[in-house]
């Protein structure tokens, strides 16, 4: 999303006095600002003391690999400072410590510049700019980006980005002087940030500055409404190009491209779309119900099988009963066999008695 429509002209000119080989680059560049970095700056501004007009902080991001002409600002952190009409004091040790800690957690992000919540540029701004753009702990040999964010109450948020070049007749004078050169910037966000930004935009028109979270169906409805609105806007533009209206600023090539894109959209009655959508929802619900039923049946079967293995099933009980019955029958047969032998002995004694009597 383009946040600034201004155009800039970069002029090559001799820089101020500085040792040979130590001048930072001032070639044209473009700054891309991520929403989380800008929100962090605004949060820092809301927590500033009442007697402090502006706050400052460090900007962290990445540079393009090709020619370093694009700087992307990903995040920022606050840096304490005290500013009066005569002097300014910045907690440099805190800034260095926080920068080292941030590099440990995000090694790909580097120091790219600093921010201030005021659009004013003065001598103190030049001093801080020279510190961030210097050698050692600064951005040298790359230019340091200075981002100003206007946070005056009752006015819109205005963002500006600058780089600087040293000026001055002597090196001592050049240390606290700088020529700030405006550079174009762009606030760019992805699809993941869109929902949060839309909620913030919806809360700005409410007195309590709060908004309720929406469901997935409501989010889908809003997305469809936005798509329909964009299609209507594009259709009106194409009609204006075809009819050659003066207020449309027609572009024949662009109108032809958009017309070809609109021709790909299906011409379907909204009632038919609603009917197909409802049928699809019913099919999805039916499949979900069957899947849950199958899952429940499988879980129940697993529980029953586990219970039989743990407590013993009916097959093991019947086998144990058969074994006990066989042992009892063997014992009973032995007893009956014993009684049979006793009977044979009595019969033999009966046969012997008559012989002895004779």
Q: Contact, 118 vs 87, CB < 8 A? A: no
Mean predicted confidence (pLDDT) in 53-60: 92
Closest Cα to residue 188, out of 91, 29, 285, 71?
Answer: 71
pLDDT at residue 174 in the model: 63
Torsions phi, psi for 206 (to 5 deg): -100, 150
Q: What is the number of other CB atoms lying within 10 angstroms of the CB of residue 131? A: 16
Tokens matching residue 262: 């609109």
For the domain spanning 30-192, the CATH number is 3.40.140.10
Residue 186 scores a pLDDT above 60: yes
* Confidence (pLDDT) at 19: 44
**Whole-number pLDDT of residue 253:** 81
Is the pLDDT at 246 greater than 70? The verdict is: no
List, as own/partner pairs, every contact residues 143-146 make where C-beta atoms lie below 8 angstroms and the sequence separation is at least 24, other chains included.
143/24, 143/25, 143/26, 143/29, 144/24, 144/112, 144/113, 144/114, 145/31, 145/59, 145/71, 145/73, 145/112, 145/113, 145/114, 145/183, 146/113, 146/114, 146/115, 146/116, 146/180
Q: 249-292 pLDDT, tens per residue?
A: 667 788 888 888 888 777 777 788 788 888 888 888 999 999 99
C-alpha distance from residue 83 to each of 54, 77, 87, 144, 280 (Å): 9, 18, 6, 21, 64
Average of per-residue pLDDT values in the chain: 77
Which residue carries 């402090």 as its tokens?
Answer: 52
Q: What contacts 20, CB < 8 A, 6 or more positions away?
A: none
CA end-to-end span of the chain = 141
pLDDT value for 1: 42
Please count the residues of the chain. Answer: 358
Which of these, 137, 139, 82, lies nearest to 113 by C-alpha position? 139
Confidence at 315, pLDDT banded by 50, 70, 90: low
Mean pLDDT value across residues 171-191: 80
Quote the radius of gyration of the chain (alpha carbons, Å). 44
**Can you give the residue ranges of every domain in the chain?**
30-192, 193-263, 269-306
Six-digit token pair at 219?
């989010």
How far apart are alpha carbons 110 and 280 in whole angstroms?
50
The pLDDT > 70 percentage for the chain reads 74
Question: Cβ(98)–Cβ(147) under 8 Å?
Answer: no
Residues whose CB falls within 8 Å of the CB of residue 159, separated by 6 or more in sequence, listed in order: 3, 4, 33, 38, 147, 148, 149, 150, 185, 187
How far, in Å, CA of 74 to CA of 38, rounded? 9
3 state SS for 85-138: CCCEEECHHHHHHHHHHHHHHCCCCEEEEEEECCCCCCHHHHHHHHHHCCCCCC
pLDDT at 304 over 80: yes
pLDDT at 140 over 90: no
């Amino acid at each position: 999303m383009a946040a600034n429509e201004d155009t800039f002209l970069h002029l090559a000119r001799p820089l101020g006095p500085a040792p040979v080989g130590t001048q930072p680059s001032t070639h044209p560049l473009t700054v891309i600002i991520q929403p989380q970095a800008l929100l962090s700056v605004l949060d820092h501004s809301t927590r500033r003391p009442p007697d402090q007009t502006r706050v400052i902080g460090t900007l962290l991001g990445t540079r393009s690999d090709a020619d370093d002409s694009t700087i992307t600002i990903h995040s920022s952190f606050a840096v304490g400072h005290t500013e009066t009409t005569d002097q300014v004091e910045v907690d440099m040790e805190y800034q260095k410590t926080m920068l080292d800690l941030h590099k440990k957690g995000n090694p790909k992000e580097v120091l790219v510049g600093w921010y201030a919540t005021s659009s004013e540029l003065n001598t103190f701004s030049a001093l801080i700019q020279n510190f961030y753009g210097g050698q050692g702990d600064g951005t040298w040999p790359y230019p340091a980006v200075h981002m100003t964010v206007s946070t005056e109450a009752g006015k819109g948020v205005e963002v500006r980005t600058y780089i600087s070049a040293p000026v001055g007749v002597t090196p001592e004078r050049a240390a606290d002087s700088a020529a700030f050169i405006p550079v174009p910037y762009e606030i760019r966000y992805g699809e993941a940030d869109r929902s949060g930004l839309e909620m913030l935009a919806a809360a700005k028109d409410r007195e309590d500055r709060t908004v309720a979270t929406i469901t997935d169906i409501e989010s889908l409805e809003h997305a469809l409404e936005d798509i329909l609105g964009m299609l209507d806007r594009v259709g009106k533009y194409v009609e204006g190009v075809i009819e050659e209206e003066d207020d449309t600023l027609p572009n024949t090539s662009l109108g032809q491209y958009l017309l070809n894109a609109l021709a790909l959209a299906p011409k379907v009655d909204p009632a038919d779309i609603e009917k197909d959508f409802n049928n699809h929802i019913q099919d999805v619900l039916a499949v979900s119900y069957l899947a849950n039923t199958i899952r429940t049946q499988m879980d129940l079967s697993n529980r029953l099988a586990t219970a039989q293995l743990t407590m013993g099933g009916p097959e093991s009980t019947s086998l144990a009963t058969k074994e006990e019955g066989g042992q009892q029958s063997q014992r009973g047969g032995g007893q009956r066999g014993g009684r049979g032998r006793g009977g044979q002995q009595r019969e033999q004694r009966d046969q012997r008695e008559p012989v002895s009597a004779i």
